[in-house]
Structure 1
Amino acid sequence: MAEKTTRSDKKEFLGIKANGPVFITSLVIILGLVLTTLIVGKPMEAWFNKTQNYIADHVGWFFILLVNGLLIFAIFLGFGKFKNIRIGGADAKPEFTTLGWFSMLFSAGMGIGLLFWSVSEPIFHFNSNPFMKNPENKVAAAKEAMGITFLHWGIHAWALYAIIGLALAFFTFNRKLPLTIRSVFHPLFGDKIHGPIGDVIDIISVIATLFGLATSLGLGVKQVNAGLEYLFGIDNNEMVQVILIAVITFFATLSLILGIDKGIRMLSEWNMRLAIFLMLFMLVVGPTLFLFKSFVQNIGHYIYEFFELSFWTNTYKGVGQETNWQNTWTVFYWAWWISWSPFVGIFIARISKGRTIKEFIFGVLLVPTLFTFLWMSIFGGSAIYQELLGNHDVTVAVKEDVSTAVYYLLEQYPLTSFASIVTVLLVASFFVTSSDSGSFVVDTLTSGGRHDAPKGQKIFWASMEGLVAAVLLVGGGLTALQTASIITGLPFAIIIIVMCFSFYKSLTEYSEENKEELKPVKKNKKAIG
């Protein structure tokens, strides 16, 4: 039976184009957390740390099971009976070029975090990880370090984005429902999604998005500040970081006002060009042959240990001893990606009209994952190469301040100052694209899925993102950012599970309604004309 699509969530509230309950409730909760952090001050850091460990200890297994389930579901959709469904209908055409599409996918999906952790994470795992049997075996340590890094930044994260992005795109362009998370639940709740049930879903989505973004923006500004200190001697402290957040948020707002095509798309493509340039530069000045060989071997090792790494929960090593390695790394990443997923999902949905489910799934899963693996192999591999030579400068930098690691790595190779300037520009540019894309998504959610919200609303939410990032950074540092992701990721993880059932139900109904449209097309080999 076809779903009703007559209802719209495009509402007016106090003269603004917003869904009042979602807009006001989200704002009150966010401001409440921000003010509490400001008023309580430094003691909040201890609370953040305790809360992070408590949630990770008790539901870490749930996050791990969920991301693996979503990967299986994504592969099923890409290969299964729904693969020929086209987003927007049989006659829909892609709005953006393939290059533009991939650029926006990558800039929105990883961006700042990839730059922040590409050197420091492999070095952390090289020096200590729970899979290390013999700490003296540096070759084994290097392989495990890259395998773990690939796990955290690889196909699991993109499967999560793919499922949410595809579901939202399908309900928006095929079922003609508003571009909000609540729309995916229409097969289960019907028109009730336009009431309190839908409001709760969108409120959770807004909060998860805002705090997931704040985590990335907080990491990004720390790295920009570290680069400015390294290059120009500018103080590396909270005051400078707050000023940087304000400046970069201004440029993000400007990009947002220009719109997706003139602002976000153009800046995303610039990001990709600059990122590729920096990566190729590192490949040339670094140990080139070693990096090519390690890229191939890293993929092989990751595939070989894929299932053990993916389902590892530290069950037996955790009995009778305190360890929070997995809480700090894997569980944090899965929660971060989950809290980030409403933003990335809505953004991917918005730019993916005209692509089949098969094209969408494999485009989102494979291309960004392989690029990420290459990036990690080049930057992380260059750092590990120095360790294998006995040069521990990068390790020392990582232990002192994670945000400085990439600059100390560049110091080991030629043209250090030039490469550092490019890195600072790239981090700042990723900062802007994450912020403007995120503001677009939050504004979409709070305005009932409409794309024509006034510029004032866009400026408001862009400013709010910057405020949250600044307060969390001042009130608890990296721990506060990680805790915010885990806290907001948990309720949205439950929403994702229900979303998958609802999405499958609607796909089944749609395929029954459009049997002729979904039949494989036989190509006519005769010349035309």
Structure 2
Amino acid sequence: MLESLAQRLGLRTNPTIFFVSAGLMVLFLVLLLGFPGPIGAAFGVARDWIVTNLGWFFILGVTAWLIFLAYVALSRYGHLRLGGDDSRPEYSNLSWFAMLFAGGIGTVLMFWGVAEPISHFAQPPFAGVEPFSPRAAEEAMSISLYHLSLHTWAIFTLPGLAFGYFVYRYNLPLRVSSVFYPFLKDRIHGPIGKTIDIFAVLGTLFGLAVSLGLGTSQIAAGLGELFTSITDSTPVRVIIIGVLTAVATTSIVAGLDKGVKRLSNINILMAVGLMLFVLFFGDTVFLLRQVIESAGHYGQNIIGLSFWNDAMARFTKEGGWGWQQTWTVFYWAWTVTWAPFMGVFLARISKGRTIRQFVVGVLLAPSAFTLVWFVIFGWSAMVSDGIGTGEMGEIARRVVVDEEVPIAMFEFFSNFPAATLVSGLAVVVVALFFATSSDSASLVVDMLCVGTDDAGPVRQRVFWGVSEGALAAALIILGGDAGLEALQTVITVVGLPIFILVFLTVPCLLKGLSSERRKAMELRFGDVPPRASEPAERDRDAKESAVGG
């Protein structure tokens, strides 16, 4: 029945994955808009239980993934290509970096580049650290880098490596279920595999909706600063989502090479221009010195931060579970909902690169950019607010006291010449990051349903683009004045099952890579007794997949 419906609608997709995912999303939208109170309360209870009982699992998991990726990159498997041994990259290094950055974390850096360092500077999470002190500033920078550099990109790199390896070396469908081939075998084409793919599609939609919600709140705050007639309210945010979803949909129709690539390149150039403006019109020498010094502090603190989960908070008056609930656990739960999207996206644009090139490039290049970005924006903001004065500056007051987090960057720009012009440019950059994130995710969600790296008909991609905007608008309406807190609550709950799925990619990759060693032994020493995961069965399943869709 579903196949017949897909044919009548002119769709080219897996009917079960497409219609079930779409149906569940529409059902949630109806419930969300019809019963926001009970739905919000249910998510709140679930979130409290997760962060209290499983916060340590999120923190340990992401650190384990980073260690595993370092091992794989340095191991004997590092020379293997994501594709055939003779395949080569389709994109230059510059375009590759721009695409993965703009699609992955651009909106996040714009939102938190000032707000997070200022928050930790004003409210240090560790006992005995005086707010607004030099030590508070140094620790604020280390914590910010911990949240948004190597660990964040480990969450993206792991599924990207798994997709690239299994899809392009095993000739399997471009779906999350293909990662579990070593254990599920041909069951990836059955109910179990489709269930995994449906979860991945829904998780991607929710993760993107949260990011669009954050980006929209920042755009609304910026417009409110630029035009006194515009107020940062729920209706204004919904209108902004509608307008930018239309822009993103236009890019979706243009496709990956013409749409996403072009927008990504423009966007990254504008973001770099904004960063250089702050560097040269700020305390340039101090900031350049801090790039080196902050890298050192981050390197010194990364091990402790990677395993810290507030275990001793119950014995102290300061700290407590609240800090990590609001920050680290939220970050990892939110970021992991992007894992299917970014994994497929990274695999798609990285075909032909070696495992070592992929891991090193995806981990280090964006992390290095994040370091420079946070140093220039974060340290400049803390200097503006007065390091060592012991008094709260205007930026910290608006972020911490007034809880106007989206306004942080625009308040920061008020300290620079041509503040209105610069704030206007910042609004444009955030809007473009919104569009690149939306169109990238729409293409990837469509690929997850189609099962190939060729996107389906335009109407399918447009459907997912509009759906993402609608879901983001619904979450904005649900949050109301609570805004950020409501988004954090929803994404923490949705992130748990996705986190478990990504965790399971580690044994799948280990099993898949062990088969590469076995094949090498065959070539060197002759025949070795076959095992279930060898190429003959793999090719058979790939043919079945091609026939069955």
TM-score, L = length of structure 2: 0.89
Report the AA paired with residue 388 of structure 1: G
Q: Residue 299 of structure 1 corresponds to which residue in structure 2? A: 295
**How far off is 1:178 after superposition?**
1.0
1:55 aligns with 2:50: yes
Q: Residue 280 of structure 2 corresponds to which residue in structure 1? A: 284
Matched residues in 2 for 1:117 and 1:280: separation? Answer: 18
Contact 2:124 2:131 in 1 (8 A): no
**How far off is 1:395 after superposition?**
1.0
Contact 1:45 1:479 in 2 (8 A): no
Report the AA paired with residue 274 of structure 2: L
Report the AA paired with residue 325 of structure 2: N
Describe the shift of the 1:381–1:136 C-alpha distance in structure 2 as closer, same or farther (beyond 3 A): closer
**How far off is 1:14 after superposition?**
2.5
Contact 1:63 1:334 in 2 (8 A): yes
Report the AA paired with residue 417 of structure 1: T
Describe the shift of the 1:372–1:136 C-alpha distance in structure 2 as closer, same or farther (beyond 3 A): closer
Contact 2:13 2:450 in 1 (8 A): yes
Q: Residue 350 of structure 1 corresponds to which residue in structure 2? A: 348
Report the AA paired with residue 95 of structure 1: E
Describe the shift of the 1:243–1:503 C-alpha distance in structure 2 as closer, same or farther (beyond 3 A): same
**How far off is 1:320 after superposition?**
7.7
Q: Residue 465 of structure 2 corresponds to which residue in structure 1? A: 462
Q: Residue 524 of structure 1 corresponds to which residue in structure 2? A: none
Matched residues in 2 for 1:261 and 1:425: separation? Answer: 22
Task: State the Cα deviation string for residues 294-337 of structure 1 (Å, max 9, x = none).
Answer: 22221111111111111111011135876411000000001111
1:484 aligns with 2:476: no
Report the AA paired with residue 499 of structure 1: T
Q: State how 1:115-194 maps to structure 2 within 5 Å.
A: 115-135=110-130, 138-194=133-189
Describe the shift of the 1:329–1:135 C-alpha distance in structure 2 as closer, same or farther (beyond 3 A): same
**How far off is 1:221 after superposition?**
0.6
Q: State how 1:78-117 maps to structure 2 within 5 Å.
A: 78-117=73-112
Matched residues in 2 for 1:452 and 1:383: separation? Answer: 43
Matched residues in 1 for 2:506 and 2:490: separation? Answer: 25
**How far off is 1:136 after superposition?**
5.4
Task: State the Cα deviation string for residues 401-435 of structure 1 (Å, max 9, x = none).
Answer: 11111001000111211211110110000000000
Q: Residue 78 of structure 2: SS of its match in structure 1?
A: coil
Calculate the aligned-residue CA RMSD, in Å: 2.0
Structure 2, gaps ≥5 residues long? 525-549
Describe the shift of the 1:515–1:278 C-alpha distance in structure 2 as closer, same or farther (beyond 3 A): farther
Matched residues in 1 for 2:432 and 2:79: separation? Answer: 36
Task: State the Cα deviation string for residues 166-217 of structure 1 (Å, max 9, x = none).
Answer: 1101112111111110111111111110000101110111111111101100
Matched residues in 1 for 2:41 and 2:292: separation? Answer: 42
Report the AA paired with residue 301 of structure 1: H
Matched residues in 1 for 2:27 and 2:516: separation? Answer: 42
TM-score, L = length of structure 1: 0.92
Q: Share of identical aligned residues, percent? A: 41
- Of 400, 409, 413, the residue aligned with 2:416 is 413
Q: Residue 324 of structure 1: SS of its match in structure 2?
A: helix
Describe the shift of the 1:415–1:516 C-alpha distance in structure 2 as closer, same or farther (beyond 3 A): farther
Q: Residue 16 of structure 2 corresponds to which residue in structure 1? A: 21
Q: Residue 536 of structure 2 corresponds to which residue in structure 1? A: none
Q: Residue 522 of structure 1 corresponds to which residue in structure 2? A: none
Contact 1:215 1:481 in 2 (8 A): yes
Report the AA paired with residue 313 of structure 1: N
Q: Residue 374 of structure 1: SS of its match in structure 2?
A: helix
Matched residues in 1 for 2:161 and 2:358: separation? Answer: 7
- Of 241, 244, 257, the residue aligned with 1:245 is 241
Contact 1:64 1:334 in 2 (8 A): yes
Matched residues in 2 for 1:247 and 1:515: separation? Answer: 57
Q: Residue 443 of structure 1 corresponds to which residue in structure 2? A: 446
Moved over 4 A (4+): 42-47, 319-322, 514-518
1:382 aligns with 2:380: yes
Matched residues in 1 for 2:120 and 2:29: separation? Answer: 33
Describe the shift of the 1:128–1:459 C-alpha distance in structure 2 as closer, same or farther (beyond 3 A): same
Q: Residue 526 of structure 1 corresponds to which residue in structure 2? A: none
Q: Residue 434 of structure 1 corresponds to which residue in structure 2? A: 437
- Of 362, 381, 391, the residue aligned with 1:364 is 362
Contact 1:132 1:144 in 2 (8 A): no
- Of 249, 257, 264, the residue aligned with 1:261 is 257
Q: Residue 198 of structure 1 corresponds to which residue in structure 2? A: 193
Contact 2:334 2:495 in 1 (8 A): yes
Q: Residue 231 of structure 1 corresponds to which residue in structure 2? A: 226
Task: State the Cα deviation string for residues 119-141 of structure 1 (Å, max 9, x = none).
Answer: 11111101112224132570110
Matched residues in 1 for 2:371 and 2:176: separation? Answer: 30
Q: Residue 49 of structure 2: SS of its match in structure 1?
A: helix
Matched residues in 1 for 2:153 and 2:102: separation? Answer: 13
Matched residues in 1 for 2:316 and 2:42: separation? Answer: 24
